[in-house]
Chain A
Amino acid sequence: MAGRALIPSWGRVASLYAGGLALALLPLLLLSADRFWLNILTYTYLFAGLAVAWNVLAGFGGQFSLGHGVFFAIGAYATGLLFMKWSVSPWLAILPAALASALIGSLIFLPTFRLKGSFFAIATLAFNEVALVFANYFESVTGGPRGIQIPFRAGFANMIFADPRGYALLMFGFMALTLAVALVLRRSRLGYYLLAVREDEDAARAAGISVVRVKLRATALSAALTAIGGGLFAMYVRTIDPPTLFSLPDIGVKFALLTLIGGIGTVIGPVLGAFLIVPIESYLRALLGGSVPGLHLILMGLLMLLAALFMRRGVAGAIDALLERWRRRARSAA
């Protein structure tokens, strides 16, 4: 027990990462012929990545943001506008988009860091609503409520694929990127400092941690990754409009829901949440949306209720508890 490796080695982490990604790629191989499921899978990868990005600030740092729709929208608009107005390849455009999101995120979140818990959540929720109004108002830039349409000009440089599997792979790559960032972060000084800030700010300060600086860095990182997701989303749906980007149930709050169900504050939790919820929700929406509108939301609500009652620490927490029980049994048997 005493000599048990507590912090897994990089080699072990890398092999778990590769194995997990291979597993996540499996459905793509099985479903690639089915356009309906391929679309769902594409969204699953995208939202898994977005939830991981949200978890960087909210899960590790304990800053429960409901304003990540703003970063998502910044990414979508910046990528789309750079592509439409100056023909910048989206592959390049996502970089300034991420940078802008990190800067704006740091600026607008800075004054809210004094707020704790739900007060922080409400303040950041307000950012989402204000940004929605701005996006609708500045029609000359954003196209207003009607948004921006990106014409279908297939090509790798345009990040527009004739084969829908291209998008699935693209989103898979995004998920892999965010997951790699989260893994490195969890094992870095900033990662440890974030956890300390989440657990107890006074104790963190006593350990020499500048609480505001740590929150700012996590915000910048989280906002940048979310913006990349927003840019990819824009190139997938090829319509950039405010009601979609700033939707709370589909974007801003969705990141939080997926992460909570999967296991907040863990590296893998947000991915598990996305793989559980996105397919079920999309399937139910398609199945019931035509006949009984809204029924899929009732069923989803029920599912979340059950998760809140029986999986307080999310799917990741439940798996953890099972493993722990199994280990204990193995130990007592030995």
Chain B
Amino acid sequence: MYDTEQNEQNRRREQSLYRAAFAGVHASESLKREDFYMKHNKPARVRVGRLAFTCMLLAALLCMMSMMAYAATDGETANPVTAVRIYIDGQEATGQLTKQADGSYQLQSGEEADSAQVEIELAPDEAWPEDCTEGGLEFRIETETEGESQDEGVDRT
């Protein structure tokens, strides 16, 4: 009991000395007036977190690089086909795929003058067609894009 009272007395004495030490510590007088804050009350800036800012920057960079690549390759980046295999009635055939000036592709099977021809209207950002019909022959086209094969399955009966 004595200890507790003694401790409390000590605490009060220390508190009194502590507060006395800080008695002379004052903030500037101007800081206490409202007119001071009216002058400084500018609208708060919109704060964007560092992570969000970095993500936005990377997204913008990626977008810019894609646009540059798209422009530099004349839209080839949207359809990066590297090889085409043509099958007629289940048999692989030789053929030629030619890109037209208007962006479409002309597929010619065989090298004979009477060989079948298929014209594929394909915009630069358009996927290869699922099917097409031309000339009574069964076509199957396999396209190979960068790094992987893709079967577009163009069938005709």
Chains A and B form a bound pair: no
- Give A contacts to B, CB under 8 Å: none
- Give B contacts to A, CB under 8 Å: none
